[in-house]
Structure 1
Amino acid sequence: MTGTPVTYSAFADFLDGETARVERVEVVLAPDRLSIHRPGGGRIDWLADELRALPDQADRRSLVLTRAGDQLARLVVTDEAIVALLRRNAGHLGKRPPVENKGRILGWGLGAVASVALIIFVLVPVMANQLAAYLPPSGEKALGDATYERIRMALSSDMVPVDTCEGPEGLAALASMEARLGAGPDLPYPVTISVLDHDLVNAFAMPGGRIVIFRGLLDEADSAEEVAAVLAHELGHVVGRDPTRDALRLAGSVGVLGLLFGDFAGGTVVLLLANQLINAQYSQSAEAGADDYAHALLTEAGLPPSALGTFFERLLEEHGDAEGLAAHFASHPQMAARIEAALAAQGAAETAGRIGAPVLNAAEWRALRGICGGSAAEDAPESGMGVDRGFERPKPGRPKKDGSIGG
């Protein structure tokens, strides 16, 4: 600190790093050192090269000093003249001690990252699968109901929840379709099927047995059998309790990350789960299981299993990879294999003579298409079994819908 007056002195607060006592001391600034004169007559010299300033000091008018090699001691200097001289002339104030044991620290860091990855990607899914079998239905229903309301609000454009469609004739047609599928004995709890008045081409299952179908899917479907096939697929997810497992995995992952980063709340889980369901992507095994269940359920009900595959295939051709219901379906691995599986199930059902009457008559299909009170029912194609007339190409001028199918 060349040029600093030898006799320049001021008062400061000193903590020796051994006791909690704050001492009022006199500090004397010399060219090569800072001398600390304690009240009892003791003197400590901190050499200029040893002086270090603690980082992140908000008050530039004062300076909190420590000594290299003695990181616990503190000297709080508030005299503006000494602070200015130290900042200008003490060249090592900002120097940080070298990091020791870098290899060990790196090893521990990698171990911590690997542990978190193991918990999130291995232990949490395993625990979620186990807990799903023991979670009370009332708890699942409460989570599903809360998430349903969050979804209604998230999809709103004017802060008013999206309407639930409740046209009486449409609800009756939907109940008739559910009864025809006859999944009741397989279900872990009663199912509630809701139609939301939104143009997303989407459908998904939620914890607690709620299945959501969007108006956009009803508008896009060319037959009631296509809707029944999607519904059968979602019933397969309910039977497998896939939404509950997904919610538990999400809650576990958010909980682990929340403990690490200090941002965890139940509302966060519901918000993330709502987004997850809208863009639902279950594991390949869960999707295959829901497909297999839908094929069997449709065959047992005398309905065409091919409707599950050809609906997605037709929309994929219409909208491509970036839009429409097929966009989400295409995000799952082995889409072509899943479509082929649906067509193979169709062939087996036809060979066995299992294809029966349409799932809905023409009036019921129009009522279902008009469940939200719009004009969709006016141009509803006649319901059929999908072999000869049920999968016509979209009519010219029909607008495309953006969205995806959940699960």
Structure 2
Amino acid sequence: MTGAAAVHEAFADLVDGETAVVHRVALRLAPDRLIITLPNGAAQDWMADELREVPDQADLSGLMLARAGDPLTRLLIRDETITRLLRQNAPALHRRPPIENKGRIAGWAAGAVASVSLIIFVLVPVMANQLALFLPPAGEKALGDATFEQVRTALSDADFLPVEVCEAPAGVAALAKMEARLDAGHDLPYPVTVAVLDHDMVNAFALPGGRVILFRGLIEEAERAEEVAAVLAHELGHVVNRDPTRDALRLAGSIGVLGLIFGDFAGGTVMLLLANQLINAKYSQAAEIGADDYAHGLLSDAGLPPAALGSFFERLMAEYGDEAGWAEHFSTHPKMIERVDAAQAAQDRAERAGEIGDPVLTAAEWRALRTICGPQDDKGQSSSRRPERD
């Protein structure tokens, strides 16, 4: 061993990997080897190029050694002189053993990734679609109620106060009249609950269990009450088709699988992830077409213009572009123009059948709905009703 011409002696602790006994052994450091004398007088030669350092997380005060080709035996050296010489001169002390069966390991890794992908992207969605049909209404409603509170928390301001639910009495009455005009309750096993949140996001989305959330920003962007009614009808279509429930079950299943692999997720974390997922929901092409078709029929049956669904978001797209709020949500495949054309076709059919009736709200009721979160300023924007904090 280079630099170790003198013979150094000390004691060390040896674990043979076969018994739980720690053997006190004598050491002699020769130029090209480490000579170990066991309690029974037998000697072992550990050649310098065979020595490997093993990181010892339990005790960092000494040098833990193993020998190449012997994965179990360990030698703990506390003698500072021998430890220093070994660290300076043992040529392969920090060499890691070669990885054997690389092809087999790579195959196992690829198989594991493929299995997890199959579970998350195929099996979990299939199971979620089936479970959504059999989930008890009470359970679905409880999931929606819990997620609603998490949505308010997820959208909280710098003070970490939940976003307020807008409850100006005249505005609530106008919204209730709009709900009654659409009358989607007969398609659901639970009552519809519509809430307006005091947030400037131009958005709306559905939660499991019959909950629909509208944002103040969307109502302020609408030019007439029929546009809000069209958005509400579209979201009711998602509720009737159980799209939010499928999405929630799919996300919960995926998080559960990943939690088993990478560590458990706390329930609160799951709910916050679910809330953010539903706020930014991007349903499949089939789900969006289904919600559109339901909205067209619901609006026609209520004597309201189906074209309002397309014209509102066409205007938002022109004003904000493809990436803004609910315009992005509405622009999910198929193409926006196709959905606008479908809404106009439904409008033409309703007009030929004489199904378009009175406005959904009077002018006074529309003003009340626009101020459901509080009085508007000079620019027509609702002022926050949140009290000042001390």
Q: TM-score, normalised by structure 2?
A: 0.93
Q: Distance in 2 between matches of 1:24 and 1:52?
A: 20
Q: Distance in 1 between matches of 2:314 and 2:204?
A: 16
SS of residue paired to 2:205: strand
1:308 is aligned to 309
Aligned pair in 2 of structure 1 residues 82, 304: CA closer, same or farther (>3 Å)? same
Aligned pair in 2 of structure 1 residues 59, 88: CA closer, same or farther (>3 Å)? farther
2:76 is aligned to 76
Q: Distance in 1 between matches of 2:356 and 2:235?
A: 21
* Aligned: 1:110 with 2:110: yes
Shift, 1:160, TM fit: 1.2
Q: Greater shift after overlay, 79-88 or 137-146?
A: 137-146
Name the aligned partner's letter for residue 329 of structure 1.
Answer: F
Consecutive unaligned residues in structure 2, runs of 5 or more: 383-390
Whether the aligned pair in 2 keeps the contact of 1:316 and 1:324 (CA below 8 Å) is: no
Whether the aligned pair in 2 keeps the contact of 1:316 and 1:325 (CA below 8 Å) is: no
Whether the aligned pair in 2 keeps the contact of 1:169 and 1:368 (CA below 8 Å) is: yes
SS of residue paired to 1:26: strand
Name the aligned partner's letter for residue 324 of structure 2.
Answer: E
Q: How does 1:162-173 map to 2 (within 5 A)?
A: 162-173=163-174
Name the aligned partner's letter for residue 191 of structure 2.
Answer: P
1:264 is aligned to 265
Q: Greater shift after overlay, 16-25 or 298-307?
A: 16-25
Using CA pairs under 8 Å that are at least 6 residues apart, name the structure with larger relative contact order, 1 or 2. 1
Q: Distance in 1 between matches of 2:286 and 2:107?
A: 35
Whether the aligned pair in 1 keeps the contact of 2:7 and 2:31 (CA below 8 Å) is: no
Q: How does 1:226-241 map to 2 (within 5 A)?
A: 226-241=227-242
Name the aligned partner's letter for residue 210 of structure 1.
Answer: R
Shift, 1:145, TM fit: 1.9
Shift, 1:60, TM fit: 5.4
Q: TM-score, normalised by structure 1?
A: 0.89
Q: How does 1:179-258 map to 2 (within 5 A)?
A: 179-258=180-259
Shift, 1:136, TM fit: 2.1
Q: How does 1:272-291 map to 2 (within 5 A)?
A: 272-291=273-292
Q: Distance in 1 between matches of 2:252 and 2:110?
A: 24
1:139 is aligned to 139
CA RMSD of aligned residues (A): 1.9
* 1:1-35 residue CA offsets vs partner (Å, 9 max, x unmatched): 12325531111111101112111212211111112
Name the aligned partner's letter for residue 15 of structure 2.
Answer: L
Q: Distance in 1 between matches of 2:57 and 2:71?
A: 16
SS of residue paired to 1:355: coil
Q: Greater shift after overlay, 52-61 or 40-49?
A: 52-61
2:370 is aligned to 369
Q: Distance in 1 between matches of 2:325 and 2:279?
A: 13
SS of residue paired to 2:331: helix
* Aligned: 1:33 with 2:30: no
Q: Distance in 1 between matches of 2:261 and 2:83?
A: 38
Q: How does 1:328-343 map to 2 (within 5 A)?
A: 328-343=329-344
Shift, 1:331, TM fit: 4.4
Shift, 1:228, TM fit: 0.4
Q: Distance in 1 between matches of 2:209 and 2:326?
A: 24
* 1:325-379 residue CA offsets vs partner (Å, 9 max, x unmatched): 3233234442221121111111111111111111111111111111111217x98
* 1:119-175 residue CA offsets vs partner (Å, 9 max, x unmatched): 000000001111112222222222222221122122121111111111111111111
SS of residue paired to 2:134: coil
Q: Greater shift after overlay, 249-258 or 187-196?
A: 187-196
Shift, 1:70, TM fit: 0.6
Shift, 1:188, TM fit: 2.8
Number of equivalenced pairs: 381
Whether the aligned pair in 1 keeps the contact of 2:156 and 2:162 (CA below 8 Å) is: yes
* 1:58-77 residue CA offsets vs partner (Å, 9 max, x unmatched): 86542111111111111111
1:21 is aligned to 21
Name the aligned partner's letter for residue 11 of structure 1.
Answer: F
Q: Distance in 2 between matches of 1:134 and 1:181?
A: 26
SS of residue paired to 1:73: strand
SS of residue paired to 1:336: helix
1:150 is aligned to 150
1:384 is aligned to none
SS of residue paired to 1:188: coil
Q: Distance in 2 between matches of 1:235 and 1:333?
A: 19
Q: Distance in 1 between matches of 2:58 and 2:74?
A: 16
Name the aligned partner's letter for residue 335 of structure 2.
Answer: Q
Q: Distance in 1 between matches of 2:79 and 2:133?
A: 68
Aligned pair in 2 of structure 1 residues 291, 89: CA closer, same or farther (>3 Å)? same
SS of residue paired to 2:361: coil
Q: Distance in 1 between matches of 2:173 and 2:338?
A: 35
Aligned pair in 2 of structure 1 residues 88, 279: CA closer, same or farther (>3 Å)? same
Name the aligned partner's letter for residue 154 of structure 2.
Answer: A
Q: Distance in 2 between matches of 1:179 and 1:212?
A: 16
Q: Aligned residues: percent identity?
A: 69
Q: Distance in 1 between matches of 2:56 and 2:228?
A: 61
1:347 is aligned to 348
SS of residue paired to 1:322: coil
Whether the aligned pair in 1 keeps the contact of 2:9 and 2:29 (CA below 8 Å) is: yes
Whether the aligned pair in 2 keeps the contact of 1:35 and 1:43 (CA below 8 Å) is: yes
Name the aligned partner's letter for residue 79 of structure 1.
Answer: D
SS of residue paired to 1:133: helix
* 1:242-280 residue CA offsets vs partner (Å, 9 max, x unmatched): 111101100111111111111422222101111111111
1:389 is aligned to none
